[in-house]
Amino acid sequence: REIALIEGDSNWGEFSPFLEYEPQEAMSWLKSAIESALTPFQSNGIDLVPVNATLPAVPIQQVAEVLSWFPGCNTIKIKVGTKDDLARIREVFRINAAAQVRLDANGLWSVAEAKEILESLYSEFGSSLDYVEQPCQTLAENKKLKKEISFPLKIAIDENLRKSGNLNEILEVADLLIIKVAPLGGVSACLQLIEKVDIPVVVSSALESAVGINYGLILAASFPEMDLECGLGTGSLLATNVAELPIIDGQIHIREFEPEFSGHEVVPERYEWWKNRVMKTAEFL
């Protein structure tokens, strides 16, 4: 994971669109970075945010180790869309029989695949399945799935929200919205979006460093009624970070910190690449 940190007067902002994103798609990430660097966000008194564990598509024998990186998290988001999904889900319940599971397909399933897999999972695990995030790629496919599925499936929308933007159509399908600060243009833009909807939201990460995660935590703490575990524990998946935001009893404490750059130096060519990327992206602001 590569990121650029931008220093403001008193804060740091993070610009970390994925490397393959073109400047126009990266624009919202830069808006978020600039806002974060310049805006002294005020806490509303909440300083603890509950989070879920995130389980990538790791080998079965590695599941227990990964879950141990998320102490106290009983809600577990599992990346699905591989041939080992069922075995991985069963391993999660073997380790934690009381788990609530969220599935994230990243739009990899067709309607027929999603219907077959989800109905099979529901027959085995029932109400322990919390929701499925972005089961199919398009909004039309997700809408069709919702009509055809034989049980009360809850669908959370992520990519369709970030990439299609037609909120009214999204709300016809979505039972929950996945809110990610940087891809949606910053904390203020997310607050405006959340005010427009009357369905639950789950504030999640886009695999940022601790700097970016902290703004997700600030957003989640803006809502006293935010009672869903947030997908903001992904720092546990990184080998190293610019600051530590440890998960304690399934929660992360919001705190101020200075990024630690020691050990994260980059070669001059990479620095220039990111500087040029910022300037090219800024042309779209």
Residue 275 falls in the annotated catalytic set? no
> CA torsion sign, 259 to 262 to 265 to 271?
positive
Give the Cβ contact number of residue 76 at 10 Å: 25
The residues that bridge with 248 in the sheet, in sequence order, are 251
Give the Cβ contact number of residue 58 at 10 Å: 13
Look at residues 139, 89, 144, 158 and name the one whose alpha carbon lies nearest to residue 114.
144
Look at residues 189, 213, 207, 167 and name the one whose alpha carbon lies nearest to residue 31.
189
| Dihedral of the alpha carbons of 168, 172, 174, 176, in degrees to the nearest 10 | 70
Catalytic member of 31, 77, 79, 115: 79
Three-state DSSP string of 209-274: CHHHHHHHHHHHCCCCCCCCCEECCHHHHCCCCCCCCCEECCEEECCCCCCCCCCCCCCHHHHHHH
Structure tokens at 268: 């001059």
Is residue 242 a contact partner of residue 260, using CB atoms and an 8 Å limit? Answer: yes
Give the Cβ contact number of residue 71 at 10 Å: 15
Residue 146 falls in the annotated catalytic set? no
- Catalytic site positions: 79, 180
